[in-house]
């Protein structure tokens, strides 16, 4: 009886796995491109360059998944979404993955039919204002007019923080991110509040003289940002999650786009497993064994992506900070491939 039960369980489990693999993964392969939900324009994370090619930390996540699944990092379609559209687009199947500076929260992970597939940037909500205001602390913002984008977690976070600290403020809530930024630049509000990464992007790319503005040092929330997929498709969740982990693990192991071919001959068992020389990590994901090799070769490791998009090689010049590897004092802790 026990053997019959085990065989029955294995058969049911196998059918469940087959059904899961037949969802998003098969749809993406049949279409031959990834539908990736991005922002409508957020410098350093997802925005088109002057040639119309999308660039950014979140775009690199899309490119990594495309490289892993389709063999080509450029086989993705950027679908710009505002904060009101993003979850509906994912729920409806308009996009395969949402990689749009979206904070992971309990409500989003449980009540919307979607689930996060990792954290690619640790952030926190902050404040941007003219340097001439003389304000040096968020506690000095009592009575300020504050611009925000509607449909984000920033509204509730700011309200909770203000209530807890006895701060009175007047919100100016605008639906479109670019319109909210324009309102701030035009002086319709004293302060702009969003995630600190967004403030750095606004300061560097949207204001006439960045040195005339300052981002206050306080962060009033935890904003772990990462990609989302639909609930119920664990096979696809694994592919997106492990594509991100592969980029982090490559950094940890010293494997980069520049040396990945040489590293195929590395004696390190961890590197051999990452690059598909040994092991069956690809088979476990329903992919071939070169999935992670292609990610590193075509997109780079996490450090390469961070530095060119938001780090010291970019206009944003964001410090690694919390986004450094765990061994360097950060929170990025890649899980082992084995």
**What is the model's pLDDT at position 332?**
98
User: What's the per-residue H, E or C state across 59-96?
Assistant: HHHHHHHHHHHHCCCCCEEEEECCCCCHHHHHHHCCCC
User: Using a CB cutoff of 8 Å and minimum separation of 24, what contacts does 154-158 make?
Assistant: 154/125, 154/193, 154/194, 154/195, 157/125, 157/220, 157/221, 158/125, 158/193, 158/220
d(CA 301, CA 249): 8
**What is the model's pLDDT at position 2?**
39
Helical spans, DSSP H, in the chain? 2-21, 24-31, 57-70, 86-92, 106-111, 154-165, 177-185, 196-205, 234-253, 260-263, 269-274, 281-285, 291-298, 302-309
Residue 188 structure tokens = 């319709």
Tell me which DSSP letter residue 332 carries: B
pTM for this model (two decimals): 0.87
**What is the model's pLDDT at position 214?**
94
Task: Tell me the torsion sign for CA atoms 207, 210, 211, 213.
Answer: positive
Q: Using the structure block, give the residue that is written with the tokens 């639909």.
A: 230
**What is the model's pLDDT at position 5?**
40
Task: Tell me the torsion sign for CA atoms 55, 60, 62, 66.
Answer: positive
Other beta carbons within 10 angstroms of residue 211's beta carbon come to 8
Number of H helices, E strands in the chain: 14, 14
Over the chain (338 residues), the average pLDDT of each successive run of 10 is 41 42 86 97 93 97 98 98 94 97 95 98 96 95 95 90 96 89 94 93 89 93 96 97 98 98 98 98 98 98 98 94 97 97
According to DSSP, the residues that pair with 98 across neighbouring strands are 37, 228
Domains within the chain, CATH numbers bracketed: 2-122+225-326 (3.40.190.10), 125-221 (3.40.190.10)
Residue 134 structure tokens = 């003389």
């Amino acid at each position: 009886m026990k053997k019959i039960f085990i065989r029955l369980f294995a058969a049911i489990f196998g059918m469940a796995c087959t059904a899961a693999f037949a969802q998003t993964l098969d749809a993406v392969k049949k279409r031959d491109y990834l539908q990736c939900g991005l922002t409508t324009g957020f410098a350093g994370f997802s925005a088109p360059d002057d040639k119309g090619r999308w660039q950014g930390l979140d775009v690199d996540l899309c490119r990594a998944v495309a490289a892993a699944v389709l063999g080509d990092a450029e086989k993705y379609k950027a679908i710009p979404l505002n904060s009101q559209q993003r979850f509906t687009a994912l729920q409806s199947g308009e996009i395969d993955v949402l990689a749009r500076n979206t904070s992971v929260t309990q409500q989003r992970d449980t009540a919307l039919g979607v689930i996060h597939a990792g954290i690619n940037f640790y952030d926190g909500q902050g404040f941007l204002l003219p340097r001439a205001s003389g304000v040096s602390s968020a506690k000095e913002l009592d009575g300020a007019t504050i611009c925000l984008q509607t449909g984000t977690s920033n509204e509730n976070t700011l309200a909770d923080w203000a209530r807890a600290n006895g701060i009175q403020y007047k919100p100016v809530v605008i639906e479109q991110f670019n319109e909210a930024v324009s309102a701030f630049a035009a002086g319709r509000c004293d302060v702009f509040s969003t995630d600190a990464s967004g403030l750095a992007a606004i300061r560097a790319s949207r204001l006439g003289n960045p040195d005339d503005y300052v981002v206050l040092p306080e962060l009033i929330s935890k904003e772990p940002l990462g990609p989302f997929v639909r609930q119920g498709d664990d096979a696809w969740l694994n592919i997106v999650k492990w594509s991100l982990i592969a980029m982090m693990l490559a950094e940890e192991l010293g494997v980069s786009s520049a040396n990945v071919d040489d590293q195929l001959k590395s004696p390190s068992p961890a590197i051999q497993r990452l690059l598909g020389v040994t092991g069956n990590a690809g088979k476990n994901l329903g992919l071939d064994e070169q999935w992670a090799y292609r990610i590193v070769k075509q997109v780079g490791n996490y450090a390469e992506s961070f530095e060119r998009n938001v780090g010291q090689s970019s206009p944003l010049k964001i410090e690694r900070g919390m986004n450094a590897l765990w061994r360097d004092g950060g929170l990025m802790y890649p899980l082992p491939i084995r």
